Amino acid sequence: MPTAPLRVAVLGFWHVHAGDYAQQAVDHPDTELVAVWDDDEARGREGAERFGVPYAGDLDALLARDDVDAVTITTSTDVHHDVITRAARAGKHVFTEKLLAPTVEECEAIVRACDEAGVALVVSLPRLYHGYTRAISDEITSGRLGELTYARVRLSHDGAIVPWLPERFFDPATAIGGALTDLGCHPVYLTQLFLGASPDSVSAVYRSLTGRAVEDHAVVTVGYPSQAIGVIEAGFVAGTPFTIDLFGTTGRVSYTDDGDRLTAGGPGYGGETVELPVPDDAPDAFAQWVTHVHDGTRADDNVARAIELTRLVVAANAAATTPVPA
């Protein structure tokens, strides 16, 4: 028999990706968008009107409804712990934007709440499931790169200077941080995928070209016991291609979304520079969430990576507050 659609409510239109996930709930064949809540009524009503569903002004009443099975949570980061745990205790499956929470302790509490309630939790870490990520991981596994020595991942847009990024993204009380905490999450979890989740040193330089209260561009450097180095770059002040550069003792691999090109070279590739195919993306995080809900399974890898992502972001934010004078 066909499975009934998962009835999804959007909790919060604070984040710029809220509309994307709402649209996924509309488009996915196994989900149905049924309601919107936001702690800002005007913002919530605008979102509800955009998607043609009712606005709910009372969060607890919405979570108590039998016609809501699951929620996408795109509130400000500072209230993730409160909203997610309330949703979990109400028996609602949870798909949420990164960061999962401002601290590792809150992340772990959220995960416990979801596990205890038996609900599926998935965090949007989209670039883990892109084709180039799988291709690079395959090159690492192949051994052609040798021992990994260095990784650099850069992601930057011009949202602070055009400007198109909402001003609320620069409020340290609600956004928790700036370019690194938001956009930099993607280079962070990719660096952790390639080099490992547990560096033994973290240093950071944050700057605010636009003079806002949080950084609008940042560089984080992580060191590993293996002696490998990772460089994480994020910014809101320059629209540049997304790039990955990975180096090993016998090879190198580079990706750019400028032309969707993946290249490799070095002794492990016969001394030549070669172009590698970029495979199709795997099912995205939202689709994986729906599958976990229907199958009654836990997103072990996604949840573990979401916690380690927060751990490194917290460490980078702390490192940026104690720079060494030149």
Q: In CATH, what number is assigned to the domain containing residue 66?
A: 3.40.50.720
Overall average pLDDT of the 270-287 stretch: 97
Does 2 score more than 90 pLDDT?
A: no
Find, among 132, 67, 174, 32, the residue nearest to 140 by Cα.
Answer: 132
What is the count of structural domains for the chain?
Answer: 2
Same domain? For 131 and 216 the reply is yes
Residue 54 to residues 23, 64, 73, 198, Cα–Cα distance (Å):
15, 16, 17, 44
CATH for 204:
3.30.360.10
Calpha distance 260→166 (Å, rounded):
29
DSSP string of 12-23, one letter each residue: ---STTHHHHHH
pLDDT value at 324 more than 80:
no
| Whether residues 92 and 157 fall in one domain | no
For residues 160-190, one letter each, b for 16 or more C-beta atoms within 10 angstroms of the residue's C-beta and e for the rest, the string is bbeeebeeebbbeeebbbbbbbbbbbbbbbb
* 30 lies in the same domain as 151: no
Last residue of a domain, one of 99, 119, 139: 119
Sign of CA dihedral 190, 195, 196, 198: negative
Confidence band, pLDDT 50/70/90 cuts, at residue 323: confident
In a domain, 269, yes or no: yes
Domain contains 107: yes
Instruction: Report yes or no: 274 and 265 within 8 Å, Cβ to Cβ.
Output: yes
Q: Please report whether residue 306 resides in a domain.
A: no
List, for residues 95-142, the tens digit of each pLDDT value: 999 999 999 999 999 999 999 999 999 999 999 999 999 999 999 999
Domain boundary (89, 119, 149) is at: 119
Looking at residues 288-292, what average pLDDT do you find?
98
pLDDT at 1: 40
- Among 67, 99, 119, which residue terminates a domain? 119
| Prior bond of 163 cis (ω within 30°) | yes
Helix (H) or strand (E) holding 43: helix 41-51
What would the mean pLDDT of 165-184 be, rounded to a whole number? 96
Rounded to an integer, what distance in angstroms lies between the CA atom of residue 237 and that of residue 89? 40
The mean pLDDT value of the chain amounts to 97
Which element (helix H / strand E) includes 122? Answer: strand 121-124
Residue 305 is classified by DSSP as: H
Do the domain assignments include residue 299? Answer: no
**How many CB atoms neighbour CB 321 within 10 A?**
8
**Among residues 118, 12, 5, 2, which one has the least CA distance to residue 69?**
5
Ramachandran sector of residue 151 (left: φ over 0; alpha: ψ -120 to 50; beta: rest): beta
- Is residue 255 located within the same domain as residue 222? yes
Q: What is the reported pLDDT for 322?
A: 84
Question: Degrees (nearest 5) of the Cα angle 180, 247, 195?
Answer: 55
How many CA atoms within 13 Å lie on the side-chain side of 157? 12
Q: How far apart are CA 216 and CA 172, in angstroms?
A: 12
| Domain-embedded: residue 294 | no
Residues 26 and 88 in one domain: yes
What mean pLDDT is predicted for residues 16-26?
98
Identify the DSSP state of 291.
Answer: H
Q: Are residues 105 and 241 in the same domain?
A: no
262 and 189 in a common domain: yes
Residues 54 and 186 in one domain: no
Query: Does some domain include residue 326?
Result: no
Asked if the model's pLDDT at residue 297 lies above 90, the reply is yes
Q: Is residue 65 situated within a structural domain?
A: yes
Alpha carbon of residue 14 to chain centroid: 16
Please give the Cα distance from 261 to 275 (Å, whole number). 7
Please report the DSSP string for 153-208 in residue order: EEEE--TTTTT-S-GGGG-HHHH-SSTTTTTTHHHHHHHHHHH-S--SEEEEEEE-
User: How far is residue 65's CA from residue 51's CA, in Å, rounded to a whole number?
Assistant: 20
What residues make up the domain containing 15?
6-119
137 plus 102 within the same structural domain: no
Based on the fold, state whether residues 248 and 185 are members of the same structural domain. Answer: yes
User: Residue 201's beta-bridge partner residues?
Assistant: 223
